[in-house]
């Protein structure tokens, strides 16, 4: 069977048709790979996939079909093809982090987030391209070549989860996993015109996510719609004994469709939760895709500087008007220490990376280059040939700021300013603001090769990195286009308030309708 | 503060990264330029501000102090560069090689 219109199907619609017996998991896998071939997901075109095995995915689909025969209503993601960023460990396919140093490495264990996707019926189709060890904002730092933006192949898809964002934007999978340290899900989501979520630090287990900067890293989700992202986050969130930083806070149902509201995706059945036997968590206020009465949305002046791209500013103002028309109050606010976030982040993240990446030494796994001149020479040859230029730069930067004589001036100082940045968010949310709205990025996607200065590239994270430093959740939602390139708007809420984040995101998506992609 | 070429070579050795002469010059300029943007932090008064090392809101939960076997679906031998009799094999320390050579 050929699944009609696969590239436009949401995850809930796919699961619904699989549950109803209208399509099988194998049909969905074949449709996904067919779409990947049509769009050119391979290295000679968009370069989205680093590793895939259609035969193995079809075998997994057969096993999923057998499970469905035993329990027909099981799995909120039954038969849904998903793509996984290549720094998230998966059984069966390699996990290389876009690096030569892990070329061909297949993990002996699997990330909890991937296991939970599979347990919910999802099917893994590919590991996706990324900036090496998630260090970058364009996916140009991959050892396996850059990924191209499906909306304009001359442009980058953003990064570091550029392959996952491109897979969703190209209609290969309705959802994908990415990871965030400073905006690596939301920024590519904005550049590719899809939805990207960074959950609260602790909301999703980091077990099996290859560590970059452990106090900042989080697995996030990308979806074609807000509903896709909500469904995916529900599946992977929650306590995991294998990650001591994961939270045991209860995971609410985020989907409006599951709570009886009206989801913007007309193919999502409203009664899905009832049919799947799940009880909605009673969280006030009652949801509604187009109602924001009583909701206060903060507009921080630091995120709308005079230098902001004029077209991006106009699209943000249109989104704010939609919020007002749905009953929300827009309040001008200030997050005064946000302009310090890039210097803070680019001290703390490289410092943590310099420690985390010490494990890649040619001894236990991955590449070994041995010039037969002793242990130290083996370390140096392995690491200098295994790591690319940006990883080398950041490891050295991190080593410098942690070294004797510079620790207090850089690392300790940055940790203190991080406290001030987090305090800004606490103050705003304590004042009654439910959600903060900002542009996700200062500009739309830029051409491949356009930015060569490292610090100029780092500035791509200027609106996203604060949420990582503060540990709060944030989502990027498409809010329109500049010429043909997508622009994202960002909604940030308080710790563990993904429910409010999704509610405002659903409203924005519904309020903009087709304008979100125009 | 500007990074010197000597600094780069020193931290490269600490990080076990082989950096040749031309690359050391490039990195000296790049790291100095990046760190110049960090100087803004020195103007912020953080005298009584505690450092944030992590943003977990609930602290680190305790679990029973019982060891568990790692959940490995493949053996170490399947991915280690060199193993023998259950041990990772590493090259000799250079100092040992020197001793061996001088003793020979």
B75/A159: higher pLDDT = A159
List the domain range (segments joined by +) for residue B30: 5-43
- Using the predicted structure, report yes or no on whether residue A258 has a pLDDT greater than 90: no
Q: Indicate whether A199 pLDDT > 50.
A: yes
Report the largest interatomic distance among the alpha carbons of chain A, rounded to a whole angstrom: 71
ipTM: 0.90
Q: Which two tokens stand for residue A454?
A: 């490292």
**Does A471 contact B56 at a Cβ distance shorter than 8 Å?**
yes
Mean pLDDT in chain A? 92
pTM of the model: 0.93
Report how far residue A197's alpha carbon sits from residue A306's, in angstroms, rounded to the nearest whole number. Answer: 27
Q: Do B97 and A374 touch (CB under 8 A)?
A: yes
Active site residues of A: 85, 160, 184
pLDDT above 90: residue A160: yes
| Alpha carbon distance B31, B29 (integer Å) | 6
Cβ neighbours of residue A356 closer than 8 Å, sequence gap 6 or more: A211, A212, A213, A214
B38 with A410: CB under 8 angstroms? yes
User: Does B34 contact A397 at a Cβ distance shorter than 8 Å?
Assistant: yes
pLDDT category, A302, cuts 50, 70, 90?
very high
- Residue B10 domain flag: yes
CB A81 within 8 A of CB A74: no
Q: Which CATH architecture has domain A6-289?
A: Alpha-Beta Complex (3.90)
Record: contact A413-B58, CB cut-off 8 A? no
Partners of A108 on chain B (C-beta within 8 Å) are 72-76, 78-79
Interface test with B, best of A218, A383, A396, A409 (most B CBs within 10 A): A396
Q: State which residue of chain B sits closest to A201, comparing Cα positions.
A: B56
Residue A59 phi, psi dihedral angles, 5° rounding: -65, -40
Q: Inform me whether the pLDDT recorded for A412 exceeds 70.
A: yes
**Is position B83 within any domain?**
no
Q: Which residues of B touch A351 (CB under 8 A)?
A: none
Residue B28 is assigned to a structural domain of this protein = yes
Contact between chains at B14 and A413 (C-beta distance less than 8 A): no
CB contact under 8 A, A471 and B40: no
- Three-class DSSP labels, A180-213: ECCCCCHHHHHHHCCEEEECCCCCECCCCECCCC
Helix (H, G, I), strand (E, B) or coil at A104: coil
Residue A389 β-bridge partners:
none
Which residues of chain B have a CB within 8 Å of the CB of A363?
A: 80-81, 88, 90
Query: Contact at 8 Å (CB) between A298 and A507?
Result: no
pLDDT at A426 over 50: yes
- Which pLDDT belongs to residue A282? 29
> Within 10 Å of residue A291's Cβ, how many Cβ atoms?
17
Pairing of strands A474-482, B87-88: unpaired
What are the beta bridge partners of residue A502?
Answer: none
Torsion sign across C-alpha atoms B4, B9, B12, B14: negative
Asked if B66 is an interface residue toward chain A (Cβ–Cβ < 8 A), one would say: no
Phi, psi of A477 (to 5 degrees): -125, 140
Kindly tell me if the per-residue pLDDT of A423 is higher than 90: yes
* Cα distance between residue B91 and residue B97, in whole Å: 10
| A61-85 pLDDT, tens digit each | 999 999 999 988 789 999 999 999 9
| Predicted confidence (pLDDT) per residue in A377-406, tens digit | 999 999 999 999 999 999 999 999 999 899
Residue B16 lies in a domain: yes
B71 confidence band (pLDDT: 50, 70, 90): confident
> Measured between beta carbons, which residues in chain A are less than 8 angstroms from residue B94?
373-377
pLDDT at B66: 84
Q: Looking at the 3D structure of chain B, how many domains does it have?
A: 1
pLDDT at B94: 67
pLDDT at A477 over 90: yes
Please give the span between the terminal C-alpha atoms of chain A, in angstroms, as a whole number: 33
Flag whether B17 is in a domain. Answer: yes
pLDDT, tens digit, 9 for 90 and up, residues A204-220: 999 999 999 999 999 99
What residue spans define the domains of chain A?
A: 6-289
- For B91, which of A106, A108, A374 is closest by C-beta distance? A374
């Amino acid at each position: 069977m050929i699944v009609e219109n696969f590239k436009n199907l949401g995850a809930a619609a796919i699961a619904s048709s699989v549950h109803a017996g209208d399509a099988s998991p194998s049909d969905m896998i074949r449709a996904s790979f067919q779409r990947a071939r049509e769009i050119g997901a391979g290295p000679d075109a968009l370069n989205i996939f680093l590793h895939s095995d259609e035969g193995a995915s079809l075998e997994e689909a057969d096993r999923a079909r057998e499970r469905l025969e035993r329990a027909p209503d099981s799995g909120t993601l039954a038969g849904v093809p998903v793509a996984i960023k290549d720094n998230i460990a998966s059984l069966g396919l390699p996990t290389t982090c876009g690096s030569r140093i892990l070329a061909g490495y297949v993990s002996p264990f699997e990330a909890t987030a991937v296991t939970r996707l599979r347990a919910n019926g999802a099917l893994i189709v590919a590991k996706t391209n990324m900036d090496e060890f998630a260090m970058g904002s364009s996916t140009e730092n991959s050892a396996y070549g850059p990924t191209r933006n499906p909306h304009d192949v001359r442009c980058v898809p953003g990064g570091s989860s550029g392959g996952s964002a491109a897979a969703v934007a190209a209609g290969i999978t309705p959802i994908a996993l990415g990871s965030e340290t400073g905006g690596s899900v939301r920024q590519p989501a904005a550049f590719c015109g899809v939805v990207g979520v960074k959950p609260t630090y602790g909301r999703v287990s980091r077990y099996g996510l290859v560590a970059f900067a452990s106090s900042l890293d989080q697995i996030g989700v990308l979806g074609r719609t807000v509903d896709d992202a909500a469904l995916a986050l529900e599946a992977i969130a929650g306590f995991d004994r294998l990650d001591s930083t994961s939270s045991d806070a209860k995971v609410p149902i985020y989907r409006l469709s599951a709570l009886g509201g009206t989801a913007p995706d007309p193919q999502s059945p409203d009664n899905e939760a009832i049919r799947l036997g799940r009880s909605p968590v009673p969280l006030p206020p009652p949801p509604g895709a187009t109602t924001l009465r009583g909701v206060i949305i903060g507009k921080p002046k630091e995120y709308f500087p005079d230098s902001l791209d004029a077209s991006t500013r106009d699209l943000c103002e249109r989104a704010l008007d939609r919020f007002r028309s749905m009953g929300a109050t827009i309040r001008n606010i200030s997050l005064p220490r946000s302009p310090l976030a890039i210097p803070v982040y680019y001290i703390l993240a490289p410092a943590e990376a310099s420690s985390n990446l010490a494990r890649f030494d040619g001894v236990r796994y991955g590449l070994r280059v041995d010039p037969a001149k002793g242990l130290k020479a083996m370390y140096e040859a392995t690491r200098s040939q295994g790591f690319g230029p940006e990883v080398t730069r950041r490891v050295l930067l991190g080593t410098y700021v942690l070294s004797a004589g510079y620790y207090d001036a850089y690392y300790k100082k940055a940790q203190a300013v991080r406290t001030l940045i987090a305090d800004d968010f606490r103050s705003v949310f304590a004042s009654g603001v439910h959600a903060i709205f900002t542009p996700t990025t200062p500009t739309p996607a830029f051409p491949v090769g356009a930015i060569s200065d490292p610090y100029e590239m780092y500035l791509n994270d200027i609106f996203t990195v604060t949420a990582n430093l503060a540990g709060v959740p944030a989502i990027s939602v498409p809010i329109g286009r500049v010429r043909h390139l997508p622009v994202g708007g960002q909604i940030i809420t308080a710790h563990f308030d993904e429910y409010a984040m999704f509610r405002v995101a659903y409203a924005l998506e519904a309020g903009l309708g087709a304008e979100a992609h125009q | 503060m500007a990074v010197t070429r000597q600094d780069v070579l020193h931290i490269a050795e600490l990080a076990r990264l082989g950096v040749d002469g031309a690359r050391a010059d490039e990195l000296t300029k790049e790291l100095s330029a990046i760190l110049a943007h960090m100087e803004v932090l020195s103007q912020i008064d953080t005298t009584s501000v505690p450092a944030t090392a992590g943003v977990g809101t609930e602290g680190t939960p305790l679990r029973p102090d019982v060891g568990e076997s790692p959940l490995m679906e493949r053996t170490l031998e399947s991915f280690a560069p060199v193993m023998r009799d259950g041990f990772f094999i590493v090259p000799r320390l250079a100092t040992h090689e020197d001793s061996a050579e001088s003793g020979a």
